[in-house]
Each structure stands twice: as structure tokens, then as C-alpha cells.
């Protein structure tokens, strides 16, 4: 059982976070001096976590790199990836809003996403945005399959950037889980007669009872899928986005190709690990050909299917190594979504161990996501090198101003919008 102010991973039993009594008791990381260390402690070997007994002691030393505890990397420190500077480590996770018509952004998106930028998040990721009409999770999802979509997105990216956050977009294809209704409308399937569309996948295997049998994509159709992602990347740049994340998780098309449980193909896009990862690798390469080298590219994966014979953590680590070599800068580490009825060990930060393991073993930056709700929890994930970014979803639906409150709780000075400065802690700078 976890002690007060402390949570443990239900998968490993290790402590994920704790609420320290003071900065002097926060954990510190100590790595062997032989490590070739990355900024923020990214190294190929495991680092130990020890109690910090002195506020002036060196918190971490790897080769020639060290920082004192008072200056160690935390939730409100910046992060540079390629030429982009992330002002802090808090990311608004992409969350479908079911508020579009024909893929176009609306006033709802401006208010929803803009308020999270005002609230102090360092990065705001727009919802899963379909690269083709039939790739939408629901008929009311955002799209970027035509140039006409750009003009509705551009004012929102400008607003987000004007308030100091990185505007980011998640590009997606829903595959066999496409054409569902909004949750408040029951979440069931939307028929083609009611504006839905045909579900497709790597193989004719339905996700679950009640879902349609998807049509298996022909090999000759896959180059068009790859091109659709590349075209959406080009449009993303024109719309003012500074970061792209590819959605290869939660049982959507790219994840479906990765997993042996949904991909039974016998051509070059199926079979072993190389074949099952081929479509994702081709999409990454096509996007990198369109996306400027100065800007980062992230990929969200499900680290495991939680099912025997499915996609698992070892394959995720191997995939991370491949993607890093193709120009992917960070893996956003989620889990599940491809197999119905599996038992997922939910708990505070339950997916953080995936981010830590992939970060360590693949030598790539990672983001942690899933039931991260407490400022001390989020700060400790960063300070102990378990991930480089933390992504918050429902917590930021409940409270768009969570980052400003988190800074105050952690004793960190952060800027407030000038319009809100009268409500800020004394001495807070205006943006």
C-alpha cells in the first residue's frame, strides 16, 4: 500500500511520485561518471534515485555535467528540441472535442485551446486531426485533408503562440475504429446513411462486438495513406503549427499495423516486426521530407496491448530506436486501446514506467501521460528523469489554469497574462 503523499506503479510496485516536505528532500539522480549523458539526465544506463540530504549538494553528475538541487531540471524548466524551445514541461494532451463540421475548426476550438495557453501550459496539442475524411474517429473531428482547413486553424495557432505556448497538432487516421458518435451521443457507430464512413484496417478483424468489420486495405492503397500524412504535414506548417505528433496508439490505423493481433497481412506490411512497422516508418519518412528539419516530430505509441501475443514494451523499445534514426525526436508513451476487454492496471501515473524504460533503453526523449494530476507528482517525473515532458488530459479539462496553480504550489515564479495579473501571486511577471 502506498504511504501518504506517495503513489506506486501497479505494474512494477516502484514509487512513481511522492509529495516532498521541502525542496531539500526531493530526490536526486546520480549516474555513473562513465555515462554519456543527455541533457536532463537522458542516458543509456539506469540511474539511481537517492534522498537529497543537503540543499547545496550536487544533485546529478554524469561526465562533466552537474547541477545543484536548487537548479535541477523541473516541471517549469524549458526544453530545447531542434530549434524549438518549450517554455515548460507541461503539455495539453490531444483530446477530441467533437465540435467540427467537415473537419473545420470552430469557435469552440479557439476558446478551448486558447484558454489552456492562457492558463500556462507550455505546449498545446490540437486533437487527433484526420488526414483523410474516412480517417476521422467521429464525423465531428478536426481534419486537415484539404487546403481549405488551413484558414480556420491559423488564427488558433497564432493565439496559442501569442500566449507563449507551442502550437502542436496530432495527425491521425482512425482505421477500424473510425466513424463513432460523440461520447454524449452514446459513442456508438455512425452509419454511412447518417454521415459515417467505411472502416478500414490492415486486416479484416473487427475491434470488438458492435464495431463493423473493417475492409482490409490493399497494398496498392497504402502509398496514398502515406501521402495523405505528408500532405497534412505541409498544411500543418502553413497553418502555423510548430510541432507535429503522429498518432500511432490507442488502436487507430498506425497502431493496428504494428500489432500482430490486428495485422494478419502476408505482404510486406505484415508478418514480422519489420513488416508491421513498415507503414509507420514510411509515414515518418514522408513527413520528415515535408516538415522542416528545425522543427520537432513526436510519435504517440501504445507501449503495450496488455494482451498475450500483442504489441509489447520490448517491441516499443526497438521501434523507438528505429524512429529516432528516422528523425523522430520524442515518443509520447501511452498504452492499450487495440484490444477490447483487457485488464489495464489504472492508478496515478500508471504509464510513467513505460516512458522511463523507453527513455533509458532507447536513448530517446519521452513524454509521460495518464492520471498525472498533482503538481508534485508531475515535477518529480521530470526531476527524476522518468520523462522529459508530462502530458495532462482530463485534469486540464477540469482546470485550464492548472499550470499557473502548479507553479504557485511548487514555489516557482511564472508569468501571467497581463489581463489576469491582478489575480497573480505578488511579484509575478506579465507575459
Does residue 222 contact residue 269 with C-beta atoms inside 8 Å? yes
With a CB cutoff of 8 Å and minimum separation 6, the contacts of 266 are: none
d(CA 299, CA 278): 15
Longest dimension (CA), the chain: 68
For residue 135, count CB atoms less than 10 angstroms from its CB and return exposed for 0-12, middle for 13-18, buried for 19 or more: buried
Cβ–Cβ < 8 Å for 275, 269:
yes
Which positions are catalytic?
252
Q: Which positions ≥6 away from 195 have C-beta within 8 Å?
A: 139
CA end-to-end span of the chain, whole Å? 43
Asked if 277 and 301 count as a contact pair (C-beta separation under 8 A), the reply is no
Amino acid at each position: 500500500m502506498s504511504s501518504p503523499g506517495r503513489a506506486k506503479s501497479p505494474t512494477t510496485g516502484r514509487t512513481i511520485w511522492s509529495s516532498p516536505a521541502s525542496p531539500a528532500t526531493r530526490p536526486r539522480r546520480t549516474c555513473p561518471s562513465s555515462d554519456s549523458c543527455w541533457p536532463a539526465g537522458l542516458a543509456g544506463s539506469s540511474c539511481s534515485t537517492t534522498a537529497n540530504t543537503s540543499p547545496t549538494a550536487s544533485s546529478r553528475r554524469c561526465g562533466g555535467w552537474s547541477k545543484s538541487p536548487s537548479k535541477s531540471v523541473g516541471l517549469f524548466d524549458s526544453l530545447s528540441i531542434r530549434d524549438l524551445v518549450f517554455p515548460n514541461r507541461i503539455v495539453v494532451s490531444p483530446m477530441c472535442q467533437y465540435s467540427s463540421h467537415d473537419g473545420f475548426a470552430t469557435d469552440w476550438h479557439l476558446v478551448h485551446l486558447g484558454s489552456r495557453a492562457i492558463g500556462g501550459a507550455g505546449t498545446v496539442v490540437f486533437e487527433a486531426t484526420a488526414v483523410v475524411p474516412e480517417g476521422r474517429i467521429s464525423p465531428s473531428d478536426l481534419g486537415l485533408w484539404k487546403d481549405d482547413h488551413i484558414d480556420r486553424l491559423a488564427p488558433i495557432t497564432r493565439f496559442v503562440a501569442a500566449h507563449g505556448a507551442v502550437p502542436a497538432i496530432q495527425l491521425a487516421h482512425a482505421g477500424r475504429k473510425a466513424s463513432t458518435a460523440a461520447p454524449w451521443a452514446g459513442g456508438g457507430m455512425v452509419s454511412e446513411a447518417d454521415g459515417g464512413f467505411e472502416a478500414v484496417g490492415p486486416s479484416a478483424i473487427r475491434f470488438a462486438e458492435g464495431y463493423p468489420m473493417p475492409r482490409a486495405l490493399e497494398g496498392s492503397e497504402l502509398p496514398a495513406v502515406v501521402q495523405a500524412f505528408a500532405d497534412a504535414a505541409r498544411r500543418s506548417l502553413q497553418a502555423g503549427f510548430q510541432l507535429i505528433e503522429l498518432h500511432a496508439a490507442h488502436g487507430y490505423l498506425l497502431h493496428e499495423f504494428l500489432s500482430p493481433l490486428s495485422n494478419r497481412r502476408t505482404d510486406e506490411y505484415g508478418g514480422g516486426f519489420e513488416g508491421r512497422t513498415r507503414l509507420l516508418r514510411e509515414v515518418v519518412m514522408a513527413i520528415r521530407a515535408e516538415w522542416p528539419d528545425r522543427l520537432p516530430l513526436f510519435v504517440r505509441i501504445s507501449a503495450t496491448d496488455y494482451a498475450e501475443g500483442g504489441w509489447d514494451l520490448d517491441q516499443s523499445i526497438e521501434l523507438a530506436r528505429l524512429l529516432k534514426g528516422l528523425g523522430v525526436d520524442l515518443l509520447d508513451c501511452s498504452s492499450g486501446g487495440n484490444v477490447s476487454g483487457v485488464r489495464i492496471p489504472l492508478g496515478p501515473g500508471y504509464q510513467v514506467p513505460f516512458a522511463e524504460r523507453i527513455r533509458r533503453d532507447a536513448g530517446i526523449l519521452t513524454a509521460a501521460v495518464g492520471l498525472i494530476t498533482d503538481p508534485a507528482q508531475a515535477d518529480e517525473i521530470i526531476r527524476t528523469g522518468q520523462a522529459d515532458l508530462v502530458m495532462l488530459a482530463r485534469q486540464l479539462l477540469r482546470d485550464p489554469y492548472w499550470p499557473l496553480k502548479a507553479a504557485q504550489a511548487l514555489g516557482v515564479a511564472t508569468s501571467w497574462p497581463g489581463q489576469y495579473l491582478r489575480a497573480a501571486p505578488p511579484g509575478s511577471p506579465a507575459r
